[in-house]
């Protein structure tokens, strides 16, 4: 089987191994692939492995040998799944590989807001403590998160992990989910979207991006939040109306935003959130711990192996 990995660098910048993938066939691995390079690289491929490279209908129709597309992510919108189904091409994804890592970054952002450790560490290194007349000082208000309310939008695997951690910190958990969650045995309270936004001290977006919720975090919802509230997004950048959020931050409608995702990645230089007040942005790293990427690599290989054995797993449908 001829296997082509189109954009393997993000998954494996050099600290993992492709050796198990190479045992499954003739394997060509590219760190990155530009749009104009795609067809030449995959025209005779039987299996394609992609993360962000788009595999659309017009491309699929020109690939007579193609039998399998493996997406090295949970979201699979980069592939025209319906076009693949029409050609009996199997498409797989990688579910639930980064749950712990994403939840961890949610709380990295929350704790950064609460204590601003790097700011204070840099202050000490610059000599501020040496010349301070007191034994202690702080450059930002120090916050105890126990007793604060965390609102979660999307109570799937990641949302539930975030809720578990919040509970361990002594936070109150409220949530909104697109379908009712009737089997929650813990003290988490399901509320309407409007109630979650108006009552929460921190709001964590952990829902998928759909046509229905595109840019749903808009001016109206932001205006309903507490002035002291913090918005956290480790889901998808498209969930937020970015101009509305930038305006809310710059005018003090909400206290801060912590974002690991933006609507376009990498962002353009004129993205209003880059320079917005109290906007803490990380470059889409929630999924990227070594442990999560190792799981991702293992499942990617196993998905292809199971397909070759006639028992495909993690198959996605249109």
Q: In angstroms, what CA-CA distances link 40 with 22, 35, 59, 62, 68?
A: 20, 10, 11, 11, 17
CB 155 within 8 A of CB 193: no
pLDDT score for 154: 96
What is the distance between the alpha carbons of residues 168 and 107, in angstroms, rounded to a whole number?
12
Q: Residue 183 pLDDT more than 90? A: no
Q: Residue 182 pLDDT more than 80? A: no
What is the distance between the alpha carbons of residues 278 and 259, in angstroms, rounded to a whole number?
11
pLDDT score for 196: 98
What is the distance between the alpha carbons of residues 284 and 277, in angstroms, rounded to a whole number?
20
Bridge partners of residue 113, in order along the sequence? none
Mean pLDDT of 240-257: 98
Task: List, in order of start, the domains of the chain with CATH numbers.
Answer: 2-97+290-308 (3.40.50.720), 99-281 (3.40.50.720)
**Confidence at 92, pLDDT banded by 50, 70, 90:** very high
Q: Catalytic residue positions?
A: 236, 265, 284
Q: In angstroms, what CA-CA distances link 188 with 4, 146, 150, 184, 232?
A: 45, 15, 10, 7, 19
Mean pLDDT of 57-78: 95
The share of the chain scoring above pLDDT 90, in percent, equals 94
pLDDT score for 278: 97
> DSSP letter string over 59-95?
HHTT-TT--EEEESSS--TTB-HHHHHHTT-EEE--T
pLDDT score for 171: 98
Q: What is the pTM for the complete model shown?
A: 0.92
The secondary element (H helix, E strand) that includes residue 151 is strand 149-153
Q: Residue 262 pLDDT more than 90? A: yes
- Tell me the pLDDT tens digit for each residue of 99-129: 999 999 999 999 999 999 999 999 999 999 9
CB 21 within 8 A of CB 300: yes
Averaged pLDDT of the chain: 96
pLDDT score for 318: 84
pLDDT score for 180: 81
Burial class (CB in 10 A: 0-12, 13-18, 19+), 175: buried
pLDDT score for 44: 95
Q: Which of 93-97, 139-143, 180-184, 222-226 is predicted with the least confidence, judged by mean pLDDT?
A: 180-184
pLDDT score for 229: 98
CB 90 within 8 A of CB 315: yes
Q: Residue 72 pLDDT more than 90? A: yes
Residue 42: what are its φ and ψ, rounded to 5°?
-120, 5
**Confidence at 181, pLDDT banded by 50, 70, 90:** confident
- Tell me the pLDDT tens digit for each residue of 140-150: 999 999 999 99
- Tell me the pLDDT tens digit for each residue of 189-244: 999 999 999 999 999 999 989 889 999 999 999 999 999 999 999 999 999 999 99
């Amino acid at each position: 089987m001829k296997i082509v990995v189109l954009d393997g660098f993000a998954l494996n910048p050099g600290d993992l191994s492709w050796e198990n993938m190479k045992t499954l066939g003739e394997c060509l691995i590219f760190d990155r692939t530009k749009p104009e390079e795609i067809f030449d690289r995959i025209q005779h491929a039987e299996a394609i492995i992609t993360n962000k490279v788009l595999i659309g209908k017009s491309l699929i129709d020109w690939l007579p040998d193609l039998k399998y597309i493996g997406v090295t992510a949970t979201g699979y919108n980069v592939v025209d799944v319906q076009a693949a189904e029409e050609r009996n091409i199997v498409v797989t994804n990688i579910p639930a590989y980064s749950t712990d890592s994403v939840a961890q970054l949610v709380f990295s952002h929350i704790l950064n807001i609460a204590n601003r450790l790097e700011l204070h560490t840099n202050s000490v290194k610059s000599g501020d403590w040496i010349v301070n007349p007191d034994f202690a000082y702080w450059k930002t208000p120090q916050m105890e998160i126990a007793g604060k309310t965390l609102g979660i939008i999307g109570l799937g695997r990641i949302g539930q992990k975030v809720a578990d951690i919040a509970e361990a910190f002594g936070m109150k958990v409220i949530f909104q989910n697109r379908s009712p969650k009737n089997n929650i045995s813990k003290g988490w309270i399901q509320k309407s979207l409007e109630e979650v936004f108006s009552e929460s001290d921190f709001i964590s977006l952990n829902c998928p991006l759909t046509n229905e919720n595109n840019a749903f975090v808009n001016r109206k919802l932001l205006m309903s939040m507490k002035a002291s509230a913090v918005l956290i997004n480790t889901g998808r950048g498209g969930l937020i109306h970015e101009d509305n959020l930038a305006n809310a931050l710059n005018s003090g409608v909400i206290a801060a935003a912590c974002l690991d995702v933006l609507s376009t990645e990498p962002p353009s230089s004129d993205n209003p959130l880059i320079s917005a007040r109290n906007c803490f942005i990380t470059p889409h790293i929630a999924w990227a711990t070594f442990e999560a990427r190792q799981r991702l690599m293992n499942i990617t290989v196993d998905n292809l192996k199971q397909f070759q054995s006639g028992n495909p797993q993690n198959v996605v449908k249109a």
